[in-house]
Amino acid sequence: MPRFAELEAFITVVDRRSFTAAASDLGIAKSYVSRLVSQLEDRLGVRLLHRTTRSLSLTDTGAALYERARSVLSELDEAERSAADARGVPQGLLRVSLPVSFGVRHVAPALADFATLHPQLTLDLSFSDRFVDIVGDGFDLVVRIARLHDSAMIARKLTTTRTLTVASPEWVEHHGQPATPEDLRDRPCLLYAHQASNSSWTFTGVETVSVKVSGRFIADNGEAMVAAGLRGLGVLRAPDFFVVDHLRSGALVRLLPDWETELGVWAIYPHSRHLSAKVRAAVDHLAGVMAAAPWAASGYAK
């Protein structure tokens, strides 16, 4: 058991790049984590980590031990999960990565309900619009709105969303109603920050066309872009769940309805010999919630 504790402390320190973060993850004092790692180094007679007040890095010996030990502990974790999941009860820590706005609005409430149903489960939700490294960042499950190409992951479509092109009535009055995607080339548009350096919008209709667009409002968050669209700063392309309420109220109007693109809302998780009960149950729960979501039944998601 002492050897196991030493290795677990060492691996967690490396994974979290911090003794403080490792102590928090393990639920023990930082001083005890440091002592366990020192004990491991003393027992092996080698230095595993280079430590300074500002940085932490592996020695060559430490890197080799980390790879071997992490593999062994992963196998042990897999065996324990398999045994625990034989009961089919979601339990333990479930780490989920979610897109910011969609995650806060639609996924987090569903997962909160899921946690209420399963008191042995602990949820750790991380909100980011970037594409994360599921395995490297230690996530069990990722929810994303995208076209998927990564065959190294398993993906289940939860629902379908449609990308709509919208603007405020004031914008349409001032700039006119575009008849084709090409009409947006010289009109102000709202740009998504992660694509602002190459702002080409792709439309799907009788054919697929790409149009280079420009504008003076750039953001990396859908809520911020909707706010700008409501104020007439430009044309917005957004998934239906962002704008359906504003379309119903008339605060936004739909443009180019024959040129809309479907995207999947996906639950993504790594390949594994044994899919844990917590992941399986969470994905099933989200699929049921998404199928019954008001925005998915609005007609804009069809």
Distance CA(66)–CA(58), nearest Å, equals 9
Packed helices 240-249 and 222-230: angle between N→C axes, nearest 10 degrees? 20
Residues of the chain within CATH 3.40.190.10 domain(s) are 92-157+264-291
| CATH for the 92-157+264-291 domain, from 3.40.190.10, 3.30.479.30, 3.90.380.10, 3.30.230.70 | 3.40.190.10
- Regarding the domain delimited by 161-262, which CATH topology (the fold level of the hierarchy) does it fall under? D-Maltodextrin-Binding Protein; domain 2 (3.40.190)
Which one is predicted more confidently, 6 or 133? 6
pLDDT tens digits, residue range 127-157? 988 878 887 888 999 999 877 665 567 889 9
In tens, the pLDDT along 63-105 reads 999 988 888 887 777 666 666 555 578 888 999 999 998 999 8
pTM: 0.64
pLDDT at 298 over 50: no
pLDDT of residue 49: 93
**Options 3.40.50.720, 1.10.510.10, 3.30.70.270, 1.10.10.10; CATH of 2-85:** 1.10.10.10
Helix ranges (DSSP H) in 129-258: 169-175, 222-230, 240-249
